[in-house]
């Protein structure tokens, strides 16, 4: 069902949070989440997704009907050249690359040749911590874009779970959504992509002539709470609190934070 949340309160529920597209597996609305002071994130202003390189014509028309004006791509230059986004007419394409895919790919290739690579999930623990220590500038630009442009936006990486997952987390935390809610949203990736991941791993096992240990690959196909917790632990370790990270690490001043809240939150 092609629902438009902002126009119909009946669709403003968890049941309809996932956006069903032919060419993506992990697209969702971020509206409706409640803040600690009783406000709610507006429906129809912020979406997160996996890559947009396989969008059908119907998908592009649907995204346009949602009123999305900005598409923000966190993928590396290699990822974008291999699978360029299909951007619907009238949308601005903003590139905020995070070159974080290099360490994972060779290990996956080795695993598919039957070589034991241990706990691949540890790579994503490290990657999430690095979002805090190495990519503050990218996430600063992301929050400032949302705050200053005040336009309905969709942001994504390749699988829509790590780089985009941290972007969703820090945005929701910045406007006052509690950590428990943020982690629940983060973990929805496993629910939304289960069918796709199961099918993909079956193909990997088949194509590798049963050499690949797909149980090793599964952790990096989804999310685990330890991944996002690694980022939050690094924030507390380096800055003392989420608030300090936003103010000092990302250098988001009070005026910009106010604009972000004005854009994302319903009036009380």
For the stretch 168-201, pLDDT in tens is: 999 999 999 999 999 999 999 999 999 999 998 8
Nearest by Cα to 186 from 153, 215, 151, 160:
160
- Whether pLDDT at 213 is above 80: no
Element of type H or E holding 154: strand 153-156
- Let me know if residue 243 belongs to a domain: yes
- Whether pLDDT at 102 is above 60: no
Work out the number of other CB atoms within 10 angstroms of the CB of residue 255: 9
For the stretch 125-171, pLDDT in tens is: 999 999 999 999 999 999 999 999 999 999 999 999 999 999 999 99
Whole-number pLDDT of residue 182: 98
CATH number for the domain spanning 156: value is 3.90.190.10
- Let me know if residue 28 belongs to a domain: yes
Task: Give dist(CA 12, CA 16) in Å, integer.
Answer: 7
- Let me know if residue 120 belongs to a domain: yes
Give the residues across from 92 on adjacent strands. 70
Q: Which distant-in-sequence residues (6+ apart) come within 8 Å of 186 by Cβ? A: 165, 168, 169, 223, 225, 228
pTM: 0.93
Tokens of 3: 């629902």
- Let me know if residue 268 belongs to a domain: no
- Let me know if residue 55 belongs to a domain: yes
For the stretch 37-90, pLDDT in tens is: 999 999 999 999 999 999 999 999 999 999 999 999 999 999 999 999 999 999
């Amino acid at each position: 069902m092609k629902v438009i949340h902002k126009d119909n309160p009946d669709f403003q529920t968890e049941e309809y949070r996932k956006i069903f597209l032919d060419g993506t597996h992990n697209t969702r609305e971020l509206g409706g989440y409640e803040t600690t002071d009783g406000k709610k994130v507006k429906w129809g202003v912020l979406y997160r997704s996996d890559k947009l390189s396989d969008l059908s014509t119907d998908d592009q028309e649907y995204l346009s009907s949602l009123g999305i004006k900005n598409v923000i791509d966190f993928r590396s230059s290699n990822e974008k050249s291999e699978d360029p986004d299909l951007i619907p007419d009238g949308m601005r394409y903003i590139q905020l690359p995070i070159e974080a895919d290099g360490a994972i790919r060779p290990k996956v290739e080795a695993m598919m040749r039957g070589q034991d690579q241990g706990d691949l999930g540890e790579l994503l623990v490290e990657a999430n911590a690095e979002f805090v220590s190495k990519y503050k500038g990218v996430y600063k630009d992301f929050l400032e874009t949302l705050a200053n442009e005040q336009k309905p936006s969709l942001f994504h990486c390749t699988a829509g779970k790590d780089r985009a997952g941290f972007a969703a987390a820090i945005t929701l935390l910045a406007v006052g959504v509690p950590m428990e809610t943020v982690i629940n949203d983060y973990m929805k990736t496993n629910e939304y992509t289960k069918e796709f991941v199961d099918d993909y791993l079956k193909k990997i096992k088949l194509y590798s002539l049963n050499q690949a240990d797909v149980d090793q690959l599964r952790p990096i196909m989804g999310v685990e709470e330890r991944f996002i917790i690694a980022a939050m632990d690094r924030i507390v370790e380096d800055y003392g609190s989420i608030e300090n990270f936003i103010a000092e690490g990302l250098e988001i001043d009070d005026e910009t934070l106010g604009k972000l809240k004005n854009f994302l939150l319903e009036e009380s």
